[in-house]
Amino acid sequence: MKDIFVATKHDPPAGGEPHMSVFSSFCHHPKGVSFQTQKDEESIILFLRSHILTNLSWITISFVLIVLPVIILTFLSNFGLDFLSTPAANRFTAVFVLFYYLLVFSFVFVNFLHWFYNVFIVTSERVVDIDYSDVVVHNIAVTDLSHIEDVNYTQSGFIPTFFHYGNLFVQTAGNERNFEAFSVPKPREATHIIGDLTEKKSK
């Protein structure tokens, strides 16, 4: 996915400031991050993706799916089902379990990529919204900072409030699409950063 953006975590840059962690969800002035259409004079001001806590649901489902065959096979063996001990049954069980875990791995892989590659980037010139649908489909929407009319956020519910994440909304002028970043950390701080950038751009 190098054509979308690159996030690295290697040696610190010359100034001594470390690179952004590859799993960061919020980073102001990130180091070691770039994207395909970034201009030479363009710098990334804000990097956002959904809070890592939003992965908890599919991680829990994945864990249940991983241990489920073990529980079922243990349950059946405790009932002394002799047909499971035949060579044909063993081969069928092995093939079925292998195929099953391949599906589980695909479920984990797709959900992780969906979280990792759905990012919201604010640069010194524009807003870049990268929406990842699946392994081969992604959509990139861009608007200049000068086209932004309003920035606001919503944060509702105990968990989002406690863990400081919410939804960020960027409204643009004319017929351009509006931009949304869902479940991102520190939405208030992100709103202020984008608002300050648009004010400076309009002067």
Task: Reply yes or no on whether the pLDDT at 144 is more than 50.
Answer: yes
Q: Are 198 and 150 in contact (CB under 8 A)?
A: no
Distance between CA 123 and CA 143 in Å, rounded?
A: 11
The mean pLDDT of 9-26, rounded to a whole number, is 64
pLDDT band at 7 (very low <50, low <70, confident <90, very high): low
- Please provide the DSSP assignment of 33-99 as one string: EEETT--TT--EEEEEE--GGGGHHHHHHHHHHHHHHHHHHHHHHHTT-GGGGSHHHHHHHHHHHHH
For the chain, the average pLDDT equals: 85
Task: Reply yes or no on whether the pLDDT at 18 is more than 80.
Answer: no
For residue 91, the model assigns a pLDDT of 82
Task: Reply yes or no on whether the pLDDT at 94 is more than 90.
Answer: no
Domain 5-50+118-202 has CATH 2.30.29: yes
Distance between CA 47 and CA 49 in Å, rounded?
A: 7
Highest mean pLDDT among 42-51, 79-88, 133-142 belongs to 42-51
For residue 3, the model assigns a pLDDT of 45
For the stretch 133-142, contacts whose Cβ atoms lie closer than 8 Å and that sit 24 or more positions apart, written own/partner, are 134/110, 135/110, 138/4, 140/4, 140/37, 141/177, 141/179, 142/37
For residue 85, the model assigns a pLDDT of 64
Q: Which residue has the tokens 């994945």?
A: 62
Give the phi and the psi of residue 80 in degrees, each rounded to 5. Answer: 65, 40
pTM here is: 0.83
Task: Reply yes or no on whether the pLDDT at 83 is more than 80.
Answer: no
Task: Reply yes or no on whether the pLDDT at 71 is more than 60.
Answer: yes
* pLDDT tens digits along 153-203: 999 999 999 999 999 999 998 777 899 999 999 999 999 999 999 988 776
